[in-house]
Amino acid sequence: MTATIEVVRGDITEQAVDAIVNAANSSLMGGGGVDGAIHAAAGPQLLTECQALRRDRLPNGLPVGKAVTTGAGQLPTRFVIHTVGPKHWEYPDGGVEHLVSAHRNCLAEADRVGATSVAFPAISCGVYGWQAADAAPVAVTAVRESLGRFPNISLVRFVLFNDDAYETFRSEVAANPS
Ligand code: ADP
């Protein structure tokens, strides 16, 4: 079965899918942007789980491009998959391969925990400095190419917080319908 890739304008904390992706930072200790919104909506349980991860498995934090899963506290989803996008200014090409890895590894985590529907924010498109116009083709292509390896995942939803990013991701998905 071919998975559906859809694009909505909205708040990722309100998405009733199996898993939502958090554009976190390496510390996993919360931050601004979507990370702050997810922690605020999930409640303190999420930070407690992230602290346990740091203590037990990730003493040096989560590396860029990797992904790790926690529960979701009070969010209307089962899992939060935390990933770290590239900071655009740190790489000559913005860190394309890391952005690809972040998407691919999030889907691998979703598959591992049995999530069949996953919502992504525009990873790296806030404080980390990517333009949505540059990130959208990378993100959409990475998801499309990865989905072939994870046949149990039936829905990927990109959730964009502003009109510009929404239009950019929408036209990227529409340009190559699956
Ligand atoms: P990064 O550090 O990876 O750049 P940010 O959180 O700064 O992450 O921004 C990533 C994207 O998430 C931005 O496009 C921002 O507008 C968007 N965003 C912020 N809050 C939310 C939210 N509640 N739901 C969905 N997207 C959000």
Per-residue model confidence as pLDDT tens digits over 115-163: 999 999 999 999 999 999 999 999 999 999 999 999 999 999 999 999 9
Residue 1 has pLDDT above 70, yes or no: no
Residue 23, pLDDT above cutoff 70: yes
Which residue among 11, 18, 35, 164 is the active-site one? 35
Cα 1 to ligand 1 centroid, rounded to whole Å: 30
Domain that holds residue 79: 4-175
- Pairwise CA distance, residues 66 & 58, whole Å: 11
For the chain, how many structural domains are there in total?
1
**Residues 61-103 pLDDT 10s:** 999 999 999 999 999 999 999 999 999 999 999 999 999 999 9
| Residues shown for the chain | 178
Q: Answer yes or no: 111 catalytic.
A: no
If DSSP codes are grouped into helix, strand and coil, which group holds residue 68? strand
Q: For position 178, what pLDDT does the model report? A: 60
CATH number at residue 78: 3.40.220.10
The model's confidence at residue 173, banded by pLDDT at 50, 70 and 90, is: very high
Is the Cβ–Cβ distance between 40 and 46 less than 8 Å? Answer: no
pLDDT for residue 39 is more than 70: yes
Q: If you average pLDDT over every residue of the chain, what do you get?
A: 97
By the 8 A CB rule, do 102 and 118 touch? no
Local confidence band at 2 (pLDDT 50, 70, 90 cut-offs): confident
Question: Which element (helix H / strand E) includes 34?
Answer: helix 33-42
Q: Which residues does ligand 1 sit against, CB inside 6 Å?
A: 11-13, 23, 33-35, 37, 85, 121-128, 159, 161-162, 165
Distance CA 79, CA 71 (A): 5
